Amino acid sequence: MIKFPNDFIWGTATSAYQIEGAHNTHGKGPSIWDSFCTIPNRITNNENGNIAIDHYHHYKKDVTLLKSQGFKAYRFSISWSRIMPEGKGEINEEGIQFYSNLIDELLANDIVPWVTLYHWDLPLALQMENDGWLNPNIINYFENFAKVCFERFGDRVKNWITLNEPWVIAILGYGQGVFAPGRISNSEPYLAGHHLILAHAQAVNLYKTKFKYQKGSIGITNNGDWREPLTKNHSDIDAAERALLFFLGWFADPIYLGDYPQVMKNRLGDRLPNFTENQKKLIKNSSDFFGLNHYTTMYVANDDHTGEVSNVYGNGGISEDQDVLLSQDKEWTLTAFNWAVVPWGCYKLLEWISNRYNHPNIIITENGFACNDTLKEEGVVNDLDRLDYFKQYLEACNKAIANGVKLKGYFAWSLFDNFEWASGYSVRFGINYIDYKTLKRIPKASAMWFKKIIKNNGW
């Protein structure tokens, strides 16, 4: 039986817009996702998160289900516009009360809260009036929002994540336009990313100085997929490393090494903003742990532009900046998102992070399998593909730990089937099935398996 360390953190995760619903309830202001979902054909079936699974009204039931499955930690995000309807200024006390009640309910059930301050749902007013993450003022607005959260919840919350997947915010929101706020550009992603990094660092500095007495930890979560060279040719090996640096290194290098990867500086020129020396000092070492959301792996070949096929955008940055071609092995199992199931890629990525960033403590803050679950007649979803995915990826995690990687925790994505952004409700990620006609919660086979693995600290 494979064992994990006794203090290993076992958790599951959600985000506010994907589960809460109550989009205009009790003083909440609109977010960019509330607005983006009203544009026809942006979301599958023109769906939205107005109700989602109605977690806002059913949080006690959801915490009871969470406890029944044995999880010791729960990662959730706070809706900025539920706390500050315009993103700045007035505080919505009813929003504060909701999250305070949720935190208390978790603690009463011996579940440790891990709170993400920002999971993509920017207050709409900040986008319309201030150009969102393109305006440097967003750095101070975010710090002020973080300050409110530290003041109101920091007596009970000891684990904070500033930002979830800034790469997604920058590339999908400001580069490809497929996520809110829906902008398309080959330069705006780098400006947005710059402000995201500075906002993270400034919020962390605030926490470390003004709220040090709360004795908590704070970090950032980046998404990263492994990039494997397609061949042993040096050009493909270099391309794979370049792809990783444009993807994960873009946001991790400044925090752990003090500046952007040199390859990004060389290739982007003036499109990549510069950090001042004071900003570099503020940013460096501004994360107590390496938060990682990991799902898949792709092969990388160098794009010498001699062939007929070349990406417009690659999964890790704008491909014309990287000169890479991405592909998959035809034998790999694919999820409903066409993401390949490649457990050895998880192992290799953990090793790469550990070696490049001087062996930081790593928390996998998301890992999961998307599929089109159907409810069985017996009332149970036997999601065997998802269960097999979790087993294989946890085996890879265990192997990494055995080889010296400081992996300290694992959060399964997601606790519930939910609103999956541009895919709406057509793709299911949760280890609990949601019947959207009745909003009934039904545990899946993977949920029961997690209960067993947590209880046995292995399988």
Q: CB-based burial of residue 418 (10 Å sphere; 0-12 exposed, 13-18 middle, 19+ buried)? A: buried
List phi, psi (to 5°) of 218: -145, 140
Residues tagged in the binding site annotation for substrate: 18, 119, 164, 295, 413, 420-421
Q: What is the pLDDT of residues 42-52, one digit of tens each?
A: 999 999 999 99
366 classed as catalytic: yes
On the question of pLDDT at 67 being above 90, the answer is yes
Q: What is the CA radius of gyration of the chain?
A: 21
Q: Give the pLDDT of residue 315.
A: 45
- Give the whole-angstrom CA distance, residue 263 versus residue 322: 9
Residue of 143, 165, 188, 241 with catalytic role: 165
Q: Average pLDDT, whole number, for the chain? A: 95
Q: What is the pLDDT of residues 257-299, one digit of tens each?
A: 999 999 999 999 999 999 999 999 999 999 999 999 999 999 9
146 sits in the region (left: phi over 0; alpha: psi -120 to 50; else beta) called alpha
Which 8-state DSSP code applies to residue 375?
-
Q: Give the pLDDT of residue 312.
A: 42
Which residue, 419, 157, 114, 155, is CA-closest to 291?
114
Q: What is the pLDDT of residues 189-233, one digit of tens each?
A: 999 999 999 999 999 999 999 999 999 999 999 999 999 999 999
Which 8-state DSSP code applies to residue 121?
-
Query: Where does the pLDDT of residue 377 fall: very low under 50, low under 70, confident under 90, or very high at 90 and above?
Result: low
Q: Give the pLDDT of residue 373.
A: 86
Q: Give the pLDDT of residue 170.
A: 98
Q: What is the mean pLDDT of residues 166-181?
A: 97
90 classed as catalytic: no
Q: What is the mean pLDDT of residues 163-184?
A: 97
List phi, psi (to 5°) of 281: -65, -35
Share of the chain above pLDDT 90, in %: 92
- Give the whole-angstrom CA distance, residue 415 versus residue 447: 9
Q: What is the pLDDT of residues 83-132, one digit of tens each?
A: 999 999 999 999 999 999 999 999 999 999 999 999 999 999 999 999 99
Residue 119's SS3 state is coil
- Give the whole-angstrom CA distance, residue 42 versus residue 424: 10
Beta bridge pairs of residue 113: 74
Class of domain 9-456 (CATH, top level): alpha beta
Which residue, 453, 419, 448, is CA-closest to 436?
419
Q: What is the mean pLDDT of residues 421-432?
A: 96
Give the DSSP H or E segment for 435. Answer: strand 432-435
Cα 166 to Cα 9, 34, 271, 394: the distances in Å are 24, 19, 17, 25
Q: What is the pLDDT of residues 202-213, one digit of tens each?
A: 999 999 999 999
Give the DSSP H or E segment for 143. Answer: helix 138-153
On the question of pLDDT at 313 being above 50, the answer is no
Residue of 105, 188, 241, 366 with catalytic role: 366
Buried b (16+ CB within 10 A) or exposed e, 392-407: bbbbbbbbbbeeebbb
Q: Give the pLDDT of residue 308.
A: 54
Looking from the CA of 307 toward its CB, the CA atoms found within 13 Å total 10
* pTM for this model (two decimals): 0.97
The least confident of 147-151, 259-263, 376-380 is 376-380
Residues 6+ apart with CB under 8 A from 135: 195
Q: Give the pLDDT of residue 457.
A: 73
Residues tagged in the binding site annotation: 18, 119, 164, 295, 413, 420-421
Q: Helices marked H in 37-137 — which ranges?
A: 55-68, 80-83, 93-108, 124-130
Q: Give the pLDDT of residue 317.
A: 54
Residue 259 tokens, joined? 């500046």
Cβ(226)–Cβ(349) under 8 Å?
yes
